[in-house]
Amino acid sequence: MTREELLSATEPLYTVVVTCYNQEEFIVECLESVKDQDYAQVELIVCDDKSSDNTVIIAKRWLNDNKDSFVRSELLVNAENLGISGNHNAGLSKATGKYISFIHGDDKLYNHTSLTDAIDFIQAENLTFTSLRIRAFLDCGNGKYELQELLPAEKALPLFKQGPLKQFRSLLTSCWIPGVLVTETDFLREIGGFDEEFRSAEDWCLWLKLSRTGYRIGINDKPFLFYRRHPKSITVTSIAEGKSDFVLNKLKAIEKYIFPFKSLLRPYDRWSVYIYYRYLNAIVKFGCSKQAYRKARWIKLFDPIKLFKSLFF
């Protein structure tokens, strides 16, 4: 057995779940980025959330052509649209790897060492789970990309050194932690996976739950993923089309994961959450359009923490 074969045999199996919905334009680029990894022990599960375009046909053909590139691969097609959380859990239910990560079908892994870097970090730090950094990029069309910021920004990295309670308080009005992680699969199952009450804001709910229950969230400094920004993304289309679900899920997250735990908050934390809650409700009241976001923005002026940050940062 060669050194490479011996190394592959001792590597833990890493499950990559690609979740997709109407991403026929991007799915092959995403899957190719998984195929190009230098990590040998990869299980690939593609979960389609009942796409109405050709995503399933394209993914099925690609998986058939590239099945020998993985320890195991599988295509799941949901009988009904489950939303982001439900689609994540569908992949989780089929995962057999020791570790698992989820990526959306319009994103792609950062480079050929992304999985290796993630595994090396979680093992070196003796972690059960960790968040991972992402590089945003603007899809300009015609194969042209514009690189944007690295998330989270450098100034946010000290927050990952704080204890769980401080992290919980820092997450009250914004999900500044990327919704990309590597975690032990069994651990994610033990904590209930992703909350299927939420068709979006699933990452915010997860981080609030983990930090509130005493788990410190770490991060690997090396980028893991290219995060695509384009006109068809869920966030952009939700605002452009005036969809209320995106905002309503945030309101529900506050009601379920923050309000019942007010005893953990300082007075000004409670005030900030209250202002943010009012702000989201105003967006819903005004119709969830771009104009609604602008009309509701003045409410944020009553948040002393955000006002302080705007003056000094």
pLDDT surpasses 80 at 238: no
Place 234 in a pLDDT band, splitting at 50, 70 and 90: low
80 alpha-carbon distance from chain centroid: 22
Question: What pLDDT, on a 0 to 100 scale, did the predictor assign at position 1?
Answer: 38
Decide which of 191 and 145 is more confident.
Answer: 191
Give the pLDDT score at 126: 95
Determine the average pLDDT of the residues in 137-144.
83
**What is the SS3 assignment for 294?**
helix
pLDDT of residue 95: 98
Tell me if 100 sits within 8 A of 185, measured CB to CB: yes
Does residue 51 register a pLDDT over 70? yes
pLDDT-derived band at 145 (thresholds 50, 70, 90) equals: confident
Say whether pLDDT at 230 is over 90.
Answer: no
Contact call for residues 55 and 105 (beta carbons, < 8 A): yes
Evaluate if residue 305 carries a pLDDT over 70: no
pLDDT in the model for residue 236: 55
Q: What does the buried/exposed string (b/e) look like for 57-73 if buried means 16 or more CB atoms within 10 Å of the residue's CB?
A: ebbeebbeeeeebbbeb
By C-alpha distance, which of 229, 232, 273, 269 is closest to 251? Answer: 273
Q: In terms of Cα–Cα distance, which of 268, 308, 249, 277 is closest to 169?
A: 268
- Please report which confidence band the pLDDT of residue 233 belongs to, taking 50, 70 and 90 as the band edges: low
Amino acid at residue number 99 = Y
Q: Residue 155 pLDDT > 80, yes or no?
A: yes
Cis amide prior to 231 (ω within 30 degrees): no
The answer to whether residue 312 scores a pLDDT higher than 60 is no
Averaged pLDDT for residues 160-189: 96
Query: Cβ(211)–Cβ(162) under 8 Å?
Result: no
**Which residues have C-beta within 8 Å of that of residue 301, sequence separation ≥ 6?**
307
In the chain, pLDDT over 70 holds for what percent of residues?
90
Residue 8 pLDDT > 70: no
Identify the pLDDT of residue 311: 42
pLDDT at position 232, please? 63
Percent of the chain with pLDDT over 90: 82
pLDDT at position 139: 84
Name every residue whose Cβ is closer than 8 Å to that of residue 9 and which is 6 or more positions away in sequence: 1
Mean pLDDT of all residues in 8-33: 93
Give, rounded to a whole angstrom, the gap between the first and last alpha carbons of the chain: 57
Q: Is the pLDDT of residue 235 over 70?
A: no
pLDDT for res 240? 56
Specify the pLDDT at position 241. 64
SS3 (DSSP) at 227: strand
pTM of the model: 0.91
pLDDT of residue 295: 94
Q: What angle do CA 232, 176, 310 make, to 5 degrees?
A: 105
Among 238, 220, 226, which Cα is nearest to 148's? 226
Average pLDDT over residues 103-127: 97
pLDDT at 10 (0 to 100)? 80
